[in-house]
Amino acid sequence: MKKQTELLNRLKIMAVTGLRCFDIERGVILKRKKLIQTAVAIVGAAIFAAAAPMSVAGTLTTIEAKAAAFDYHVVFDATFYAAAYPDVVAAVGSDAETLYQHYVTSGMLEGRQPSASFNAQIYMSNYEDLQAVYGNNIAAYVQHYILVGMGEGRIADHLIAGKSLVSFDSLVTVQTIDLSAWNLVLVNHENPISTSYAPEVTLCANGEYMHKDVTPIVQQMIADAKAQGINLYLASGYRSASRQTYLYNRKVNYYKSLGYGQEESEKLAATVVNPPGQSEHQTGLCMDITDASYISLTENQENTAGYKWLYAHCAEYGFILRYPKDKENVTGVIYEPWHFRYVGVEAATEIMSRGITFEEYVAEHSL
C-alpha cells in the first residue's frame, strides 16, 4: 500500500501535455509507455474492485471497501463538493476529509460529482471503448481517468461534440477478467518471470515446441491457412531461459561491435531480443511465424500473404499481434509482424478489434 501511495502521489503532480507528462518530482518527461507502466505498477500494488450498492445498515461490503480504498483525492475538490451538495454538509459536516470519505463510500455510487473538472457519467458517455470494458462500474471509470485518462488527454468535464449523455443504468455489469489465468500472464521488461520457469510443452511444427494447450490450436491454424492456400512457417516457439540468454548476449555483442558501450548495447539489444526472464517465448505462449515463402524476420513480412492472413484471422484462434507498429513506446519492443501471442479468443478479439497492446489491455482490466 505504501508503494501505491508513493506512485499515486507522483501521478498527482504530473502536468499533462498531450501524450507526454512532466513529473515535477523527478524532473523528467514521461512518454506514454512510462505512464502506462506507472499505472500498471499502481494497479499491481493494490486491489481495485467494482463499487456495488451500499449494503444494509450502511456497512461496506468487502467489494465496496476495496473500491473505497483507492485514492481518489486527485479528482476530489472539497469546496466544490460542499457547495454542490448542501445535504451532505448538513449530514456529515464541512470537514474536507469527511466530505472525501462520503464521496468514496456513497457519493460516487449516488452519481455525485467530485469536482468541476471530473464527472464520471460524462467521462463514460464520451468513450464507448471504456463502456465496453467497464460497463456500469462507476469506480472503474474514476480510477481509469486518474491512472490513464488524464495522461491520454481524455475529456471528463463536458460532452464531446456529437456525444449524448448515457445512463449508467443502461449499461450492463461487465464480467471481471481473471488476469492470473495462464493464458493472460504478462511478461515484459517490467514484468519478468523466473528464469527457472519451464512450462509443459509439446512438439508443434517444424521441430518447434509450444505450450501443451496451445500446440493443437497452432496446428489447426496452420492447417486452416493451408486449406485456404496460405502456407505458414513456425520459425520459433518455446525457448528456454538458457537459449534466450544466448540470443540476448549475441545481440548485445553485435551492438558492441558497432562501437556502443556495454550499457547502451544492452538497452538496444532489449528492444530486439528480450533479456532472459523477460521473453514470452519462455512461456511457450508465443511464436515467430511467417509466410513459408519468406521466412526472414523483417518488417517486409507484413507484405506477405501469410502475414495478412494471420493478422485477419489470428484472433479467431486466440492470438494477437504482440508488438504492433507505432506501439514501441508502450511495449518497449520494435514492430514485429512475425510475433504472435496466445491470450485466448475473448481477449484476442478485444485487443485486435480495438488496436491496443497487451500492456494496455492488462492495465485497463486491472481496474
Report pLDDT digits (tens) over 285-324: 999 999 999 999 999 999 999 999 999 999 999 999 999 9
Please choose, from the candidates 74, 66, 77, 62, the residue with its C-alpha nearest in 3D space to the C-alpha of residue 7. Answer: 74
221-228, long-range: CB < 8 A, 24+ apart: 221/313, 221/314, 221/317, 221/319, 224/313, 225/306, 225/309, 225/310, 225/313, 228/309
State the CB neighbour count (10 A cutoff) for residue 308: 14
The predicted model gives 253-277 an average pLDDT of 93
- Residue 308 belongs to what H/E stretch? helix 305-313
Q: What is the mean pLDDT of residues 56-73?
A: 58
Residue 285's nearest CA partner among 209, 178, 173 is 209
Tell me what pLDDT residue 66 has: 56
Can you give the pLDDT at residue 341?
Answer: 98
Q: Determine the Cα–Cα distance for residues 305 and 76; give it in Å rounded to an integer.
A: 53
Catalytic residue among 64, 336, 350, 359: 336
Give me the torsion for CA of 4, 9, 11, 15, rounded to 10°.
180
Kindly state the helix (H) or strand (E) to which residue 37 belongs, with its residue range: helix 32-45
Average pLDDT over residues 172-193: 87
* Stretch among 96-110, 168-182, 214-228 having the lowest mean pLDDT: 168-182
Its pTM stands at 0.64
> Average of pLDDT values for 337-347?
97
Distance CA 109, CA 270 (A): 45
Given a contact cutoff of 8 angstroms between Cβ atoms, the answer to whether 144 and 110 are in contact is no
pLDDT exceeds cutoff 70 at 351: yes
Active-site residue flag, 350: no
Contacts of 279 (CB under 8 A, 6+ apart): 187, 239, 244, 273
pLDDT at res. 176: 73
Candidates 103, 31, 4; CA nearest to 327 is 31
**Cell 505450450, located at residue:** 211
SS3 104: helix
Q: How far is the C-alpha of 330 from the C-alpha of 54, rounded, in Å?
A: 38
pLDDT in tens, 113-160: 999 999 999 999 999 989 988 889 899 899 999 988 998 899 999 999
Across 78-82, 178-182, 261-265, least confident range: 178-182
Looking at every residue in the chain, the average pLDDT score rounds to: 84
Pull the grid cell for residue 11: 501521478
Of the pLDDT bands very low, low, confident and very high (cuts 50, 70, 90), residue 14 is very low
- CA 57 to each of CA 54, 60, 68, 227: distance values in angstroms, whole numbers, following the listed order: 9, 9, 17, 63
Q: Quick check: helix, strand or coil at residue 39?
A: helix
